[in-house]
Amino acid sequence: MRRLLPFLLLSLVLAPFAAHATAVPATFTIKGSGFGHGVGLSQIGAKGQALEGKSAVEILNYYFPTSQVIPVVDTQTIRVNIAHQVAAIKISVTKNNSNNQWTLSAGETGTISSGTKPISFTILGKQISAGNLGISDYWTLRWNESTTTMVVPSESTTTTLAHGYLQLKPVSAPGLGYRIEVTNTLNLRDHYLWGISEVSSSWPTAAMQAQAIASRTYALTRMRTIRKECDCNLYNHKFDQVYAGYSKESEPRFGQFWRAAVSATNVDTTTALAITYQGKPINVFFSSSTGGMTATSKDVWGTDYPYLISVPDPWSLDKKLNPKYSTWAVTVTQAQISQAFGLPDVLRYAVTSRTKTSAALFVTATSSSGAQSKLTVSEFKIRLKIPSSWFAQPSTAVIPTPSPTPMISESVTTTP
């Protein structure tokens, strides 16, 4: 009995600690709705309203209250970046027929040569080499739009172009030295918009027209300056708006419908419809879908615009209209979530602040040792690849009760 007594006493002392220990979850499943930032035009909402018979103007007036859809001049040319910070790139022409020649000019010196074979460009200090064609501060590449198209590979994709011309310039890239920026300069009103690939070309006409007007407005507000880092007005991907080039307008069967939708928003030979506020194109935003309400620009970016307010968006929650993102679930591993929060492990997480539309603003995680880390919803989404800010609380959250002595924490179920 004397020998057993120390062990019994030790067991009594350690029992509360053992009861307090909580297993760290191997995975977390995050459930929500919508895809994208949710500000402005909901593309799924536009599709739903179009199917209900609403016009493009009615759709845009709904998602951008206090704005006006009116004709504006859109005859400008736009500069689109299609390959960013590349050290080398090979550009070729497609063989549509025998007249598939390109013409290459070096800097301000005029035409250097023409040909049909692919051209390889390489960064060389602060200049660009075009192989045996020479070295120049920048290059301009043109082709016969009626007979040839250019194929430009970027970091991970290939863009086929039919309009405008290409320029290749060396630009200083922090930490990399100089790199090549490849841009496509072309007409805004037709050639650029024909290549916008934000929505399906098989969608209802009014939804495509609403997107064309929104995309034109987006371009107009971002054409005022050339960005030094890309030698462009706009990028060709989702960080601006997706520009797929000739592959969009030449889609089998449906490409013609997208072109027709764009053309239908032209008013005459020099003006076309845009979304305006007090006579000027608005700072327009659009995304795929929402959690049932659009978000305000102030909630997402901290800047308040009178036309970027929250409106109901029930179409985004319709499984037929939005089968992939009306509801979604993302499972992340313990390693992924602990790395995202910068903690040794994550015992639990909770949404600790929300907007009036129920979108998350801040997410806080707690480790098994009690350490905490807070992320903005933007950081949380990017690091864990979460589709939107509309996601539920975990079905069960363990909330610790401060105490000077070890004790068993109670499980409290929160409402999703």
When the pLDDT of each residue in the chain is averaged and rounded to a whole number, the result is: 88
User: Once rounded to an integer, what is the mean pLDDT over residues 60-77?
Assistant: 97
Looking at the chain, the whole-number percentage of residues with pLDDT higher than 90 is: 75
Task: From residue 171, give the alpha-carbon distance in Å to each of 12, 87, 142, 386.
Answer: 70, 11, 21, 33
pTM of the model: 0.86
pLDDT value, residue 157: 76
> What are the structure tokens assigned to 203, written together?
């969608």
What is 355-398 written as a DSSP string?
A: -TTS-EEEEEEE-TTS-EEEEEHHHHHHHHT-SBSEEPPPS-EE
State whether residue 5 is helix, strand or coil: helix
pLDDT value, residue 54: 98
Residues 202-254 have pLDDT tens digits of: 999 999 999 999 999 999 999 988 999 999 999 998 789 999 999 999 999 99
287: nearest Cα among 331, 320, 235, 322? 322
Q: How confident is the model at residue 101 (pLDDT cuts 50, 70, 90)?
A: confident
pLDDT value, residue 390: 96
176: nearest Cα among 155, 197, 201, 200? 155
pLDDT value, residue 224: 84
User: Once rounded to an integer, what is the mean pLDDT over residues 46-65?
Assistant: 98
pLDDT value, residue 332: 96
Q: Is the per-residue pLDDT at 410 higher than 80?
A: no
Q: How confident is the model at residue 158 (pLDDT cuts 50, 70, 90)?
A: confident
Residues 365-400 have pLDDT tens digits of: 999 999 999 999 999 999 999 999 999 988 644 433
Domain boundaries, the chain: 20-35+326-412, 41-75+190-317, 79-187
Looking at the chain, the whole-number percentage of residues with pLDDT higher than 70 is: 87
pLDDT value, residue 10: 44
pLDDT value, residue 206: 98
Residues 340-374 have pLDDT tens digits of: 999 999 999 999 999 988 999 999 999 999 999 99
